[in-house]
Amino acid sequence: MAFFTARQPILDINKDVYAYELLFRDSLENVFPNIDDDEATSKMLEGLHLNLGLDSLTQNKLAFINFTEDTLLNRYPLMLPNDQVVVEVLETVQPGKRLLTAVKELKAHGFQIALDDYIHDPAWRYFYPFTDIIKIDWIAMSVDEIKQVIRDIRDFPHIRLLAEKVETHEEFEIAKELGFAYFQGFFFSKPEVMQSRSLESSHIALAELMAEMASPDPDINMITRAFESDVNLSFKLLRYAQSSFFKRRNEISDIKQAIVFLGQQELRRFVSLLFTAQFASGKPAELTTMSLVRARFCESLAKLPGQKPAFATAFLVGLLSLLDAMLDTNLEDLLNKLPLSDSIKIPLIEGEGELATYLQLCKAFEAANWANACLLADRISVDFDLSAECHLEAVKWAIERTEFTE
């Protein structure tokens, strides 16, 4: 059976990524495999270390991982690196002496401990000395209830608060004022303040270059001149072409050689990557990564047998889906200012067609909404396990390329 995962970023007050929560499943229903301990252990180790790649998925950030009562009592976290993992005690776990002993032991082994979806119970006070983070469900708990939790833990200043399910910039600001240190939710991927904003000439220039690359027969000479006229773009192109994930036999020494080496498809991706990174300037880096994940995922789906959309169009639809958050401006207004075809605009603005479903499927994976993802995959006649593999590959692909936007 497939081993599914989603990673959700956890940001600090500066909107920099502090960690990722990794949500694992071996079916659409289970939180943790309903199998014996030995098999569960092998599945977790295989998923984390062999199939998923903890290092590559978290980009050297901490990984928050959920553990049930049984897996904590059986010390499963000890099989994972203590400097990379934050042990999340699931909200379904009941506080008790055996659990406290397990938490103390994990803490002694160097793990950070987080209480997930915290609901106040006087018994949890015995856990406070060994707790690093308390996660508060922003939707489920009122501000008054949150203030009560803050009063309850004031004798334990080492405990930091994490607000999860934060969906708007306003909620983020309120949580900051209350003293939260970390934030989880998709507030960073939505516009902060809607406003009318004009596009800079550099935005238009890259958009025109991107549009040229998306045409059936792009003018390579025009593209070469565009890169040669901008030192910064030239440097980034050469660095990208010489990166380790391309297998080259010879060194690349000029722009034309780099363009020919990359080929139209990879050059199209690179130009789009630069375009997105420029729009996301001053925004959380995770916004660029998420755009790249969506682009690659949509492209991968379009390449599957039986799919109709052009893969170049699918890539751009995914890439442009977060432009409104990047520029805090209405998406339709932005897209109408760019030289884009209706095949790109309609899925993004009107939410219609197969490409719109591709985007919805990607969002379902981002939210770890497996049941909805299964329905959406079926709608476009794509095997669910295969779509899950496409999403995981898209995450890894995006991570590899994010460094070239800097």
What is the three-state SS of 122-169?
HHHHHHHHHCCEEEEECCCCCHHHHHHHHHHCCCCCCCEEEEECCCCH
Could you tell me if 137 and 165 are in contact, meaning their C-beta atoms sit under 8 angstroms apart?
yes
Report residue 37's pLDDT band, with 50, 70 and 90 as the boundaries: very low
The Cα 307–Cα 326 span in angstroms is: 30
Report residue 4's pLDDT band, with 50, 70 and 90 as the boundaries: low
**Is the pLDDT at 27 greater than 50, yes or no?**
no
H helix or E strand, kind and range, residue 113: strand 112-115
Tens-place pLDDT, residues 229-252: 777 778 888 888 877 767 666 677
Domain 4-189: assigned CATH number: 3.20.20.450
Instruction: List the domain boundaries for the chain.
Output: 4-189, 201-405
CATH class for the region spanning 201-405: mainly alpha
Among the residue ranges 71-75, 216-220, 325-329, the one predicted with the least confidence is: 216-220
